[in-house]
Structure formats: structure tokens, C-alpha cells
Amino acid sequence: MFIATLIAADRLSADDISQARDLLAEAGAEILGTDWIEREKAVDIRFTGDLAGARNALGALSGSIDVIVQAETGRAKKLFIADMDSTMITVECLDELADYAGFKPQVSAITERAMRGELDFVAALDERVALLEGMDEEIVTRCHIERVALSPGAVSLVRTMRAHGTHTVLVSGGFTLFADRVAAEIGFDRAIANRLEISAGSLTGRVIRPIVDSATKRRVLLEETERLGLAREDTLAIGDGANDLAMIEQSGLGIAYRGKPKLRDAADARIDHGDLSALLYAQGYPRREWVES
């Protein structure tokens, strides 16, 4: 049996639910029932049929509604792997650092192309970091304080999942100087990220090897899955760019959050309208069960 979870950015109506049921029926699904998770906010439609066909059909649902379709068994995940920049936080840290150095337009353009999968990630990272050579390392702390904001729903998502026994890992192609702080603020069990080389209190313009890239993210997902004795279906991964593609494809449920086209096409589901708390509804947690601080 499968579940299609409809999550509204504002208000979920009876018409929205009726449209979703009709789309599923047209795709050959047998509707078994409809249950509110949170009235006028999130609802489950249980059905039997073809998973891929149901996902494709519900892509035509109108309105500011995110839809996550999955097997009912194992919907509450036991491992959560998340990207950081533009996913768990609202900015790209490297772009913001570059702004202090006066290079943001150049760096942002490279970042955008890299996240779309148009450039090699490692080469693009090296090119951007090289522009930061000579920057005082204290600027990183200032940048974090002044520019980094947690994405809405991030704290509730991670802390609620941990309260229900989920292991949570932040894996970023960004930098430990940001990721360690972000992981602590949100409540992740572990953070993995790249390390900026620093000499005499200044950035050298180089990234210490090995690089945390797409292959690293996938490997962390596989290693943690094996270490915890989990099945693939027990895992959830989320990201926004091409660098997240391998872990999204490897996870039991892969989510594109405001994702770039290449990732959106590969993900099992997308969050385009609501915030990260949509993933709590997708796992069947009503708001009264959330940990919000």
C-alpha cells in the first residue's frame, strides 16, 4: 500500500483532496482512504497501484501544495542525511564570504552553474575559494553571524526526528567553519564538510583534501546505513543541487528542496512551496508531536 501526502503552504481544501483522488484514480490507483494528519494543512491518501504512475499523475495537482508519495511501510525514517547551503540554511556560504571580498557576482555565477551540474564541482570549488586568498579568518565568524539564517522548519524537522530515534547527519560541500555551527544550532548528530586552509590567521585560498563532494555524500549515506543496520527504505536525504544527486538517488526517499532542474528530475519528491517541516507530515508526525525548540 502507498500513501500520497498532500501538504499545503497555506490551506488545504476539500477540492484539493478531491482533485488528488481523481488524478490517482485516472492513473489506475484504487483509493483506500483519506486521513487528516493536520486539518487543512496535511492529509494522507492511501491507495494501491503503481508508485511511479501515481507520482507522475499528482504532478498535475494545482495550487501551492507539496506532494510526497511513498510506501506506507517505513515512512518514519531512521537515517536523515541533509545538504547545508540553500537547504538547511537559506544562503550559499561561499557566495556570502565572497561578498566580503568584493567577488560575490563572479562567485555566485560559478556556484549557480555548479549546482546545475554544468561545471565540475571540485574545479568550481577550487576556483571560487582561490578568490578568498588573504581573507582574515575572523570574517568567517562575522559572515556566519551576519548572513547565515536557518531555513524555516529546519530545527523542528531534525529535533523531532531525533526524538523519534533517527540518526541525523549534515553533509556539506561547504565548510566546517559554518557546518559545525549550523549542525549544533539545528541539532544534528554529526557534521561533515570541507576544510578551508588557514595560515597565520588568514585563508590561503585552498581547500584541504580530500574534498567532500557528491561521491562523499553518497558514501556517507551508505556507510551510515550499514553501520546502523538499516534498509535503504529507512533512509531520507534532501538537497538542492547537482552535488546532492548521488545521495538522493541512493536514499529510500530522496527530496529536492527548491531544487535545480537536474535534481528535481531525479528526486522521489520535491518541496517547492512549504518549508522543511513538510517532511514531518510526510513521515506521519502531526504538529502536536513536533519538537520545536
Active site residues: 83, 85
In one-letter notation, the amino acid at residue 123 is: A
| Secondary structure class of 58 (helix, strand, coil) | helix
Separation CA 134–CA 74 (nearest Å): 49
Task: State the burial class of residue 15 (Cβ atoms within 10 Å of its Cβ: 0-12, 13-18, 19+).
Answer: exposed
- How many residues appear in the chain? 293
Report DSSP letters for 119-188, one per residue: S-HHHHHHHHHHTTTT-BTHHHHHHHHHH--BPTTHHHHHHHHHHTT-EEEEEEEEEHHHHHHHHHHHT-
* Structural contact between residues 254 and 247, judged by C-beta atoms closer than 8 angstroms: yes
Q: Please give the biggest Cα pair distance in the chain.
A: 66
Q: Which residues contact 94 (CB under 8 A, 6 or more apart)?
A: 85, 107, 111, 125, 128, 129, 174, 175
Separation CA 284–CA 5 (nearest Å): 9
